[in-house]
Structure 1
């Protein structure tokens, strides 16, 4: 598909060609015509898929020359770095140094920003908190907004800025809404559900790498919260015939200590920590000692201040927490002759799904999503605040239910099979 198919202006088409864009990306070919037609759009796509370029081109196409001081486009972004990237992209594609655009940065002078707004701007790029603060000072006029754009919605949610987004959207009234995110989950719809127009379009792009990396078996459990992760790990580790040697990754040494105290154990040595934070915690200084200890079954490793660890003799790796950088996850995923039977089980909440997508994009394939066990105890913070998780598991392990309602077509039953190396095979029963 050529750029001409996007029906951009000749000036924008020429600029895109000069910048090396010879053909539109999938998200551009599927979204721009909808945006120019006035439709609300929710676009789900990984990093690098072209989300920013898509709405910048659409905005420049819709932007008309005016001397009106009130802005016509409001773009909400999670941080100052993204604001600078968005403003730079507008100048790069428009080639108009006089473009009436402003970035409202949380660290800048609010008085100077208000003065610039009074002079007249067409496009405002801001964090939700900054935009709301200036709006409450009656300095951000939202009465003429035509399009509200929410960039990196998943990161905005992660930072807890849903309420300012809702308040600004309600203040804009009936406008076009464009929402961009790397993942789709319930928290996203909780934020935007009340203001999106009924004719909204959902566009999903799975832009995986062309080359697939030969990795270990990657399995994924999606859970609602941290406490349910603990419940799930306890539930799985009850099968001692299968899970004879397990490594569990967390991000910090403090989390490692807390997790070790939350796991059910029949002996002090069963749950160990690599280089424990406190003297009283049982642990090892190197993984070889863990492998040789017949009483130790689970080793918790904190990524904090921990260099590469040789996991070739470990049959199960639990990614209890996802790191901030995907490279920390990827460095022990490549399959070789010594670790070919190793299984990696990842636990993720909605807020961690963006990192899952980055990892999937990097290795060129999706993780296999598993159904949660039917008798897993799902922690509900609204009703279970005062309950002790470990005590609940010991007293009544059958309580609780699956996190989500399983579709009949997706219902799976898996069996654990053990061997001399205690590897796990997961097979779907034939009906």
Structure 2
């Protein structure tokens, strides 16, 4: 099947031709007529299968030209980076159509966004938090929304956007079409569908956990963090093979620490993104990596979820993710649009259990490669890797560990005095021999005791 069989408008077909696409992916093929029908839709497909085009093609096909100021289509995505990416995709598709698109997200000036909304928009792409702020401040009128698309909904719920989503549903018109896309079907997603969707049509292309056939996976068993760093140095020094590499880590702290270890050798070739980095830094890092100015991008799971990069040669999992689904999303960054991709998984002894869970989900055993001989096995250990007795001496020692001894010096004489109470006052009185009749100086003067 080709795009020409999909009943696209001429303008959309010209845009698709310009992009060089000929055949729709399975999700695009199946979703087209269902989304156009106006029913509620739930699409389950892995990352890298072209979900953005799957919902935008049918929506743009039926979106008539209008001069109205209020938006008619709302697309919700979990991260700011995805907002920019989806806006970019829509602009590519609407090259020959007169459609106004705006992306709004936190971390940018809200007043500029309000002004842009007032100019009039057809499609708003937003993160839930910022959209709710704009809806409450009345800058964005949501009463004319006809279609609501929630993309990467499983990530949204993972990030704790559940309440914002509920609030957004409250302020949207009841009569609308809901389109939801997710890479995994979790219980939370199920509850959301039951509560807010009316007899949705379900499209499932690939069960989460089936790796894409065009991704070649290998793994290394490595004793510790610094040996992993040594292996990375070895692999990344081959610039021809590893020409566009995405390195995943589980935590922001690990990302920064690893960046420090690699910075000296690959400083100009690498960048890092995680949620503690500023918005401008993140946008710049992604752009430089996408354009090929930087060869290596270091990212945390949530940050790179759903991001689409062309021609990623390798995805390196620096640590083994605890949740098998995260591994699926990581490796989905390569081998996109049916190209061949390669992934490498680095696992320590501690991480073997997580690796087994990943293999069970995929029903596939990842081949293990021998470490190259020139890799030095590091004896250095990180804080987390050291034996417990080395670093678990509590700073707030318990009574059992800490038995106080005697004071380290004798008390000085003045500090040795004890409170004598009433008798002490009597001693003072004796010493200074207070007059019996107080204040009568003349009497005292004449009647001195001899």
Indicate the residue corresponding to 2:24 in structure 1: 24
Question: Equivalences for 1:402-421 in 2 at 5 Å?
Answer: none
TM-score by length of 2: 0.51
- What SS is found at the alignment partner of 1:74? strand
Give ranges in structure 2 of 5+ residues lacking alignment. 231-252, 263-298, 305-313, 336-340, 344-357, 363-450
Give ranges in structure 1 of 5+ residues lacking alignment. 218-245, 249-272, 276-285, 287-301, 309-321, 333-344, 371-431
Question: Equivalences for 1:9-408 in 2 at 5 Å?
Answer: 9-96=9-96, 99-172=99-172, 173-205=174-206, 208-211=211-214, 213=216, 215=218, 324=301, 327-329=315-317, 347-348=322-323, 353-359=325-331, 367-369=359-361
Q: How far apart are 1:99 and its partner, in Å? A: 2.5
Please tell me whether the aligned partners of residues 27 and 205 of structure 1 are also in contact (alpha carbons under 8 angstroms).
no
Deviations along 1:48-91, whole A, 9 cap, x unmatched? 20001122212211211112221110111112211111111111
Please tell me whether the aligned partners of residues 44 and 183 of structure 1 are also in contact (alpha carbons under 8 angstroms).
yes
Mapped partners of 2:47, 2:29: distance in 1: 17
**Larger radius of gyration between Structure 1 and Structure 2:** 2
Cα distance change of structure 1 residues 367 and 40 upon mapping to structure 2, 3 Å threshold? farther
* Aligned residues: CA RMSD: 3.6
Q: Aligned residues, how many? A: 265
Indicate the residue corresponding to 1:379 in structure 2: none
Please tell me whether the aligned partners of residues 117 and 140 of structure 1 are also in contact (alpha carbons under 8 angstroms).
yes
Please tell me whether the aligned partners of residues 34 and 201 of structure 2 are also in contact (alpha carbons under 8 angstroms).
no
TM-score by length of 1: 0.54
Please tell me whether the aligned partners of residues 44 and 182 of structure 1 are also in contact (alpha carbons under 8 angstroms).
yes
Please tell me whether the aligned partners of residues 35 and 58 of structure 1 are also in contact (alpha carbons under 8 angstroms).
yes
- 89-98 or 71-80: bigger deviation: 89-98
Please tell me whether the aligned partners of residues 15 and 93 of structure 2 are also in contact (alpha carbons under 8 angstroms).
yes
Mapped partners of 1:68, 1:211: distance in 2: 45
